[in-house]
Structure 1
Amino acid sequence: MSRRAVITGLGVVAPGGVGGAAFWDVLVSGGTATRLISLFDAAGFRSRIAAEVDFDPYAHGLTPRQVRRMDRAAQFALVSLREAVADSGLDLADVPPERLGVSLGSAVGCTMGLEEEYVVLSDGGRSDTLDHRYGVPHLYGYMAPSTLACEVAWEAGAEGPVALVSTGCTSGLDAVGHGAQLIAEGSADVVLTGATDAPLSPITVACFDAIKATSRRNDDPAHASRPFDATRDGFVLGEGAAVLVLEEREAARRRGATVYAELLGFASRSNAFHMTGLKPDGREMAEAISTALDQARLDPTAVDYVNAHGSGTVQNDRHETAAFKKALGDHAYGVPVSSIKSVIGHSLGAIGALELAACALALRHQTVPPTANLDHRDPDCDLDCVPHTAREHAMSTVLSVGSGFGGFQSAAVLGRAGRAA
């Protein structure tokens, strides 16, 4: 019998609320968690909007030493990990450490810690030479993104495969896909997987300002993220983390675990085209979708809901609309499609894991989260994009997709717990 990966626990740190319950509540509320940036003085930037997490690390159980050592992204990951493990009901002490793995995604690593240290070492940018004597002892850890996966592994006592996946904005999806593969191939029995990013720093905002990818709707930040809307003008940066507990399906059944969903298929493709550009026909994303469905042994008509990448840029929204039509055929017009980035912004590498958590919760609640702020549909994005209001909807199979700088295109298929094999 083939080994199959199921989700038995999830933990979330997201704009609008920390914890899986708060995350789901904000997704289905019809409101948004986007606002003017408060983490630093953003005056003078082209885009001054973000989806920030109201996060007190001490209130969530981190120690002063952990807070001092860890970048904000690592703090998010640990808080998400603890919730996910508790939610799963799994006692990690019962898992042989060499059978416990970690697969974590991040697009930009410890950006906030690095920038803060650069400011100190360069004397506020006044010196071209960095004086290492003023650096914190753990500065190297900020420079190595793998530190994030190490922190999760140390916390959990994982001595099996541990990896940091960094593939831009598909990092979260790709990390979970890798985690499922570790279980399928027999390298691990339990994998703690997901992604984290805390990119809300001046350097990140300046980079996206330079390519004019982010929204300038500074006078109305709550409605700035507008995927598939004809009046959209770019995406809104976010931050956050999600960790999922993946277990081998039969072992999860034997211990009586509650299963959110099974990861039925995963695939990734590259367009080998442009760092930020997308071909309008969506062929590479369509191929990832078709391959993931083939792995799941499902016809496109089995898809009951599509969680779109839905960044809110004209290029991306039209690209993936074309991909859905190519991969799903006429069924694309009959299946609900929505983007949670309209609510919690785009947290770069973390968003794919947050979207998979949203899909797992959508399956559990049999409810499609809406696309907020969709007031004037782009005629080139003519699918059922679920504007404004959450929708009760019978679902057995959901599709989640991601698109990342560098040409990465990924797709994952989740099946509802109890679905026939």
Structure 2
Amino acid sequence: MTRDVAITGIGVVAPGGVGREPYWEMLTAGRTATRRITFYDPEPFRSQIAAEVDFDARASGLTDRQVRRMDRAAQFAVVATREAVSDSGVDLAAGDPARVGVSIGSAVGCTIGLETEYVVLSDNGREWLVDHRYAVPQLYGYMVPSTLAVEVAWEAGAEGPTVLLSNGCTSGMDAIGHGAALIQDGSADIVIAGATDAPISPISSAAFDAIKATTPNNANPRTASRPFDRDRDGFVLGEGSAVLVLEDLAAARARGAHVYALISGFAARSNAFHMTGLKPDGREMAEAITRAMRQARVNPDDICYINAHGSGTKQNDRHETAAFKRSLGQRAYGVPVSSIKSMIGHSLGAIGALELAACALVVDRGVVPPTANLHTPDPECDLDYVPLTAREHAADTVLSVASGFGGFQSAAVLARA
């Protein structure tokens, strides 16, 4: 018999809020965390703004050795894991470590560590053949994205299935979907699942500048991320991590755990169409939504809230609006929809996990975060996008979607236990 998967712990490292409660307070206040980049001089770049995390690794409990060893993305993941495990109340040391799994997503791995080391080894880009003698011992770990999952497994003492999923911008949702499947099929009793990315670096700025995906609205950093708004002009790069503790519902209830929500459905599709382009009809995302609802055994009328991918690019916003109409029919016009990327930017592979963390809190607390900066709706995006202000709204069943370069389309359904 398939087991129900409960979310019993949430840990967050996000722009504008390190920790689950500061994160939720920021989202429900409709406050944005986007600003001019401070990590490096952004002046040479077309897009000079980002959603940075105000993160002090040592103040967050990491040792000097951990800070030296781990890339920023790994530091985020370990700090989020600690909060999630503590929040869940589960005693991992008391159980069988072979029954504890890890499923972590990341789109770009250890970007900051790799770029920093390349600059040193190449003598600021002057040498075509880099000198390996200047490399730090951790360089190999930076080159292998699975390092991120390994760090989480070490932190949790997990000896069960451990995986790093890298599916671009759907990585976070896909990693949590995979973690839920490990519990459903009996491969693990507890899974530490989530995602992390720290991509705010010169190479990322240059790459997104080249395809004009990020916003050039540098004069107004706080209002530059404007999903579904007529005047939007690209996404704002972000960073962060969210980690969830997933476990069998029966076991969670037996130990008296607080259950935020159930992961009751997950599905993924690919459009096999274009590396960055999307078909306007939203068919593949709609298929993922329909399949996730079927797995969750819910109908369109059961959906109480939709967490949109809502990146703030015109083709994405119109694509998923079409997907909601295609999969939910008339119900699409009656359900509130919002994009938290309007507040915390787009942290690539991490964002799906950050969004599912928010969705679990929506189910638990009955408040829908707003879409910030939505002043002039795009006429082609004609759904209820909860502009500017959070809304009290009972949400027993929540849909979240993710879309990524390469044609990845994912959907998850969360429900009240």
Mapped to 1, the partners of 2:230 and 2:56 lie a distance apart of 37
State whether structure 2 residue 249 is matched by structure 1 residue 249.
yes
Q: What do residues 107-139 of structure 1 show as CA deviations (whole Å, max 9, x unaligned)? A: 000000000000000001000001100000110
Indicate the RMSD between aligned Cα atoms, in angstroms: 0.5
Task: Tell me, in whole angstroms, the C-alpha distance in 1 between the residues paired with 2:20 and 2:162.
Answer: 24
What residue is the counterpart of 1:125 in the other structure? 125
Match of 1:261 in 2: 261
Q: Deviations over 1:6-47 (max 9, x none)?
A: 100000000001000000011011220000000111111000
- Which residue in 2 is equivalent to 1:193? 193
Partner of 2:406: 406
**Distance in 2 of aligned mates of 1:192 and 1:94:** 16
2:282 counterpart residue number: 282
CA displacement at 1:365 relative to structure 2:
1.3
The equivalent of 2:59 in structure 1 is 59
Structure 2 match to 1:217: 217
Distance, in Å, in 2 between the alignment partners of 1:95 and 1:107 is: 32
**Aligned partner of residue 359 in structure 1, secondary structure:** helix
Structure 2 Cα separation of the partners of residues 363 and 294 of structure 1:
19
Whichever residue aligns with residue 385 of structure 2, its letter is C
Partner of 1:96: 96
The amino acid of 2:318's aligned partner reads: R
Aligned to 2:312: 312
Identity score, percent? 72
- Which range moves more in the overlay, 267-276 or 89-98? 89-98
Consecutive aligned runs of 4 or more in structure 1 exceeding 3 Å deviation: none
Q: Equivalent residues in 2 for 1:44-55 (5 A)?
A: 44-55=44-55
Deviation of 1:281 after TM superposition, in Å, equals 0.1
Q: Which residue of structure 2 lines up, in the alignment, with residue 177 of structure 1?
A: 177
1:21-420 alignment runs, 5 A limit: 21-417=21-417
The runs of 5 or more residues in structure 2 that have no matched partner are none
Residues 254-312 of structure 1: per-residue CA shift (max 9 Å, x gap): 11110000000000000000000000000000000000000011111100000000000
Q: Deviations over 1:144-169 (max 9, x none)?
A: 00000000001111110000000000
Secondary structure at 1:158 match in 2: coil
**Cα separation, 2, equivalents of 1:134 and 1:144:** 19
1:129 match: secondary structure: coil
2-structure distance, mates of 1:162, 1:184: 16
Q: State the alpha-carbon separation in 1 of the partners of residues 127 and 78 from structure 2.
A: 35
Count of matched residue positions in the alignment of Structure 1 and Structure 2: 417
Query: Which amino acid in 2 is paired with 1:89?
Result: G
SS in 2 for 1:41: coil
Find the aligned partners of 2:124 and 2:403 in 1 and give their Cα distance: 35
- Any idea what SS the aligned residue of 2:75 has? helix
Please state how far the C-alpha of 1:364 moved relative to its aligned partner.
1.3
TM-score (normalizing by structure 2)? 1.00
Question: For residues 264 and 294 of structure 1, what CA distance do their matches in structure 2 show?
Answer: 10
TM-score (norm 1): 0.99
Partner Cα separation in structure 2 for residue 362 and residue 180 of structure 1: 19
Match of 1:16 in 2: 16
The one-letter code of the counterpart of 1:292 is A
d(CA) in 2 for partners of 1:341 and 1:390?
A: 14
